[in-house]
Chain A
């Protein structure tokens, strides 16, 4: 995969966040069968689903895929999901899904799915939120928005990368913090409803962002923000106010 520098047409306006990698259009066009091999509970509302996808083309941390469920009469529902697992050569990928109240696709996963079930996926998709592991990364997520960021953290660990990486993650409470057991010294959790004894509770503020941005690594941070639109607006505003350049902020909004 090659780096995209800029389109041949460069607008006279300030440049939009350029894509990080060229995506394989062939991989994106083909639906493949993904066989569920394992389900792991993460929190009361989120679980991780591991799939065997033997012909998976490989991905970079931060990318997502399209997933499709099909009913007997041919009716299909498709949704985007970020890839939670770091790239590896196991022929498996993992997704982590929140159980959305009344959700058509996440509802099936949380109430019906069991190992051996088959679904369809196409991807990986979208290069702009990908992190090849090259630039210092400041990751900010909330709720299931931590999923693509965790793929980056896992990649950083698996490859023993030395490039700086920090994760700020917001969750309602310690029980609702996805991947809590796996998070380490790179992570600062922020709890919005209830927290451990002695830890302040409330939404993410400038005080959480300032310590990271006031000591930027050489070349500065590449910021990756992921979560609901409301969270993405809030977090990106905190970053801009703290001096992070807008063309070094990548946002994935879950809608």
Chain B
């Protein structure tokens, strides 16, 4: 351990909800997208599931809203070290979309892509079983554009760059293909509890 002379740091808070190396950002919700925030109206938003599925399909805003609503209440963790506790998102479970599209048995991974062209890769197992959402509400209000509105992917058990803003679709694959940050040196899976920040962690 390389102790830094004279560094004591903040008061230690014991918070079992905080993954290693993270701090509680409190009320703050920093924005860290690398591209220009798009001007995307709900009427222009669509979400597509294709690739290794039986029934590729595109949903528009109203069709997606006709699926059973589902909410996430809990924590989110950003790779830049902040975590945010007790957030409330509303939308639809990704399982509801996948149940319609029916993934082939050969599908193991997905690339999620945005209306801006941003991409991120995920194991399919991280997107199923009630652990991922398409979210359009935050705290009971429409999701703000800078946070991914009108709708974003939400995969809260992984670092937040996996939760693609302005989500446009999922392509299911039988292999893993690095997305935008993953090509820029970030970890393929991004589990905050194992501190998988960068490739090689």
Residues of A within 8 A of B (CB): 4, 7-9, 11-17, 19, 22-26, 28-29, 33, 69-80, 104, 108, 112-113, 117-120, 122, 125-129, 229, 232-233, 236-237, 239-240, 246-247, 249-253, 255
Contacts and interface: CB of A to CB of B under 8 A. Distances in A.
B184 A127 contact: yes
Interface in B112-153: 113-119, 146
B175 to A, nearest CB: 10
B35 A75 contact: no
Interface stretch (B2-10, B85-93, B94-102): B2-10
Given A25-B185, A28-B200, A71-B8, A15 B117 contact: yes
A242 to B, nearest CB: 13
B117 A13 contact: yes
Given A11-B168, A16-B116, A71 B31 contact: no
Contacts, number: 161
Given A236-B37, A253-B33, A78 B21 contact: yes
A16 B199 contact: no
- If over half of A's interface residues share one DSSP class (helix, strand or loop), that class is named, otherwise mixed; here it is mixed
Interface string B1-41: 11111111110100000000101000000111111111000
A105 to B, nearest CB: 9
B4 A117 contact: yes
A197 B134 CA distance: 53
30 contacts: A7-B179, A7-B183, A9-B119, A9-B177, A11-B169, A12-B113, A13-B168, A14-B117, A16-B116, A16-B117, A16-B118, A28-B185, A28-B200, A70-B2, A71-B4, A73-B12, A78-B81, A117-B6, A118-B2, A120-B2, A125-B198, A126-B184, A229-B31, A232-B31, A236-B36, A236-B37, A237-B36, A246-B36, A251-B35, A255-B31
